[in-house]
Structure 1
Amino acid sequence: MVKIVISEFMDEGAAASLEDRYEVVFDTGLVEDRPALLAAVADAEGIIVRNRTRVDAELLDAAPRLKVVGRLGVGLDNIDLAACEARGVVVKPAHGGNGSSVAEYVLTGALMLRRRSYFASAAMLAGEWPRQALIGCEVAGSTLGLVGFGAIARETARRARALDMSVAAFDPHLAADAPEWADVTRHERLESLLADADVISLHVPLTEATRHLIDAAALGRMRPEAVLINAARGGTVDEAALGEALREGRLAGAMLDVFEQEPLPAGSVLEGVPNLILTPHIAGVTEESNARISRMTADNVRDVLTQAAEVSS
């Protein structure tokens, strides 16, 4: 029987839907145990991963029968695409499965950070009443600046307009005459978007071009009352520079869901930084999106394996 390995969490019903045709090894501990993972994929034809399982040359060498990698999400920086292509391994991300989840996360961050009052719990419990100091701003009438304008960013823009926000974006890979720019202010340069927006939200993959895209210089172009949200990829923000900007009051706040190292290391440069909200890479993961993405990924993997079986027969 054809074997599929699932190394990270997935909707149990979607995983079980594969068991009628395949041998399914569903073990979320494999992502933490590399030798066990390599042993598990030795005779596997499919593997399903999230963002922490490295599908690299080492894993591909250990899995000579592998035909498909199902990605529970859309980011592919943990998957060596060139190595997969060279070996004829199909990579199938779950496009469109978590757009609404990420969009809601971004707008939640915008609402919380603009109001500024959500950092007051400790002071309140200490008997303080910092009412005047915590009068914040509405998102209505403010500008949401999207760095990257793909499907998730466009979903975020649609919802932001319902909150009476103006939307601006920078995406050098989207043609200037593309219909997606309707109702959006297009910036030709990242620098001008950073200077213009009240809320900056990142929607880019991690590449050599985007690594530390938001560095000290970029942060310096943002207004002191602006806020930054990163639910895209760790490494696109220079965390040390962000921490410095927040400590010095050169930025009003930030919300990060992704990091250069996950989980965060002891003594992180973000420790003790004010006006900062941290979450553990869950912007795209809700009960609903997990079920959608899991079903999509199960279907993607099943389709590839079915086609492979038909060709071999």
Structure 2
Amino acid sequence: MIRILVTDGMESSGIDELRKSGFEVVEKFYSPEELGDALKDFNCVVVRSATKVREPIIDKALEGGNLKLIIRGGVGVDNIDVKYAESKGISVRNTPNASSASVAELAIGHMFAAARFIGVANATMREGKWDKKKYEGFELGGKTLGLIGFGRIAKETAKRAEALGMKVIYTKRSGKEAEYDNYEYCDKEELLKKSDFISLHIPYDKVNGPTIGEKEFELMKDGVYLINLARGGIVCEKALLDALNSGKVRGAGIDVFKEEPTKNMDIVNHPRVSVTPHIGGSTIEAQTRIGEEIVFIIKETFK
């Protein structure tokens, strides 16, 4: 019998479907020190963002000779040493389609929250304050949204932004996409200079570090809004805080942090920052789709 380890949770209907299909499913989180030994007895492991599958864990798992598949329930696979695993004959898959709409909707939500002071106004009203005159915001319609990275989530974000009357521009390493002529392609520097809102949709660069730092903030318009639901570390948190305090960045929407759970309470408590605890894909619909996609991958691999 094929044995599946689910370390960070999975939608119950997907687990039920796997068990009905004859797979043994174990739901248990292991510490990094324990995970490698545990994986000796499993053919597949399903992880989210909490579990890191690094080279030492892969080496230990290989001693059992059973592990053939690692699945990341979500988009990014930076918590897995993908190339190393694949070099050892272990397939690595993810579920890139399942949560795109959910993350895009939250990105738009953070734009509204930052531009209209939704978070801080909510908090101060609960303190008995009526600070109506302090919270004059901005409309999204007519503003330019710059997307750094133009994958599935960015495209879903662009679709929703366009419906709100925003002008969408984008940049990506591989260049312009011909089928998206309704959006303007430009290089990163031009995008930073032209955008009223900037939303990040790229992986973390382990070699070069943050994509947005002091230099990039200097290129941006005064009063820009920055949205990051991609990966913690993409934005230098100190540089962001400086830009917020100087007024260079009028507001920000942040769902991901360099360290999670974050200890950077200066950003969390900043009155012009809308924050969420890495919940981009945390919708009922996305979790159902992720479960369905995981089931499909497992059945396809072990048929």
* TM interval, short-chain normalised: over 0.9
- Structure 1 pair 41–117 and aligned structure 2 pair: CA distance change class (3 A): closer
- Structure 1 pair 128–44 and aligned structure 2 pair: CA distance change class (3 A): closer
Q: What secondary structure does 1:220 align onto?
A: helix
* Alpha-carbon shift at residue 209 of structure 1 (Å): 5.8
TM-score, length of structure 1 as denominator length: 0.90
1:145-164 equivalent positions in 2, closer than 5 A:
145-164=146-165
**Quick one: distance in 1 between partners of 2:85 and 2:123?**
50
8 Å contact from structure 1 (residues 240, 269) kept in 2: no
Aligned to 2:292: 295
The yes-or-no answer on 1:281 pairing with 2:282 is no
- 1:264 aligned to 262, 265, 278, which one? 262
Structure 1 stretch displaced more, 105-114 or 208-217: 208-217
1:216-231 equivalent positions in 2, closer than 5 A:
216-231=214-229
Structure 1 stretch displaced more, 101-110 or 268-277: 268-277
Q: What secondary structure does 2:10 align onto?
A: coil
The yes-or-no answer on 1:251 pairing with 2:249 is yes
AA aligned opposite 2:37: A
Aligned to 1:309: none
- 2:33 aligned to 18, 35, 45, which one? 35
Aligned to 1:111: 112
Deviations 1:267-307, CA, capped at 9 Å, x for gaps: 6553543311221111122111011011101211221122x
Q: What secondary structure does 2:168 align onto?
A: strand
1:196-235 equivalent positions in 2, closer than 5 A:
196-208=194-206, 211-235=209-233
- Structure 1 pair 25–130 and aligned structure 2 pair: CA distance change class (3 A): same
- Structure 1 pair 129–271 and aligned structure 2 pair: CA distance change class (3 A): closer
TM-score, length of structure 2 as denominator length: 0.93
Deviations 1:241-277, CA, capped at 9 Å, x for gaps: 1112112222111111111111113x65535433112
Deviations 1:33-70, CA, capped at 9 Å, x for gaps: 23343332121110001122111112212222210111
**Quick one: distance in 2 between partners of 1:271 and 1:98?**
24
- Structure 1 pair 136–268 and aligned structure 2 pair: CA distance change class (3 A): closer
Aligned to 1:72: 73
In the alignment of these two chains, the number of paired residues is: 299
Aligned to 1:311: none
Aligned to 2:235: 237
**Quick one: distance in 1 between partners of 2:68 and 2:113?**
44
AA aligned opposite 2:93: K
* Alpha-carbon shift at residue 86 of structure 1 (Å): 1.1
**Quick one: distance in 1 between partners of 2:151 and 2:268?**
32
AA aligned opposite 1:146: L
Aligned to 2:13: 13
The yes-or-no answer on 1:305 pairing with 2:282 is no
**Quick one: distance in 2 between partners of 1:72 and 1:210?**
26
Aligned to 1:25: 26
Q: What 5-or-longer segments of structure 2 have no aligned partner? A: none
AA aligned opposite 2:169: A
**Quick one: distance in 1 between partners of 2:126 and 2:42?**
54
**Quick one: distance in 2 between partners of 1:164 and 1:240?**
32
- Structure 1 pair 137–51 and aligned structure 2 pair: CA distance change class (3 A): same
* Alpha-carbon shift at residue 217 of structure 1 (Å): 1.3
* Alpha-carbon shift at residue 234 of structure 1 (Å): 0.9
**Quick one: distance in 2 between partners of 1:117 and 1:223?**
23
Aligned to 1:184: 183
* Alpha-carbon shift at residue 214 of structure 1 (Å): 0.7
CA RMSD of aligned residues (A): 1.8
AA aligned opposite 2:182: D
8 Å contact from structure 1 (residues 202, 232) kept in 2: yes
After TM superposition, the runs of 4+ consecutive aligned structure 1 residues lying more than 6 A away are none
Q: What secondary structure does 2:35 align onto?
A: helix
AA aligned opposite 1:16: D
**Quick one: distance in 2 between partners of 1:21 and 1:114?**
51
* Alpha-carbon shift at residue 165 of structure 1 (Å): 0.8
AA aligned opposite 1:74: V
**Quick one: distance in 1 between partners of 2:127 and 2:290?**
43
AA aligned opposite 1:12: S
8 Å contact from structure 2 (residues 112, 118) kept in 1: no
AA aligned opposite 2:88: R
- Structure 1 pair 261–126 and aligned structure 2 pair: CA distance change class (3 A): closer
Deviations 1:173-208, CA, capped at 9 Å, x for gaps: 13x3x32431111112x1211111111100001123
Q: What secondary structure does 1:252 align onto?
A: strand
Aligned to 1:50: 48
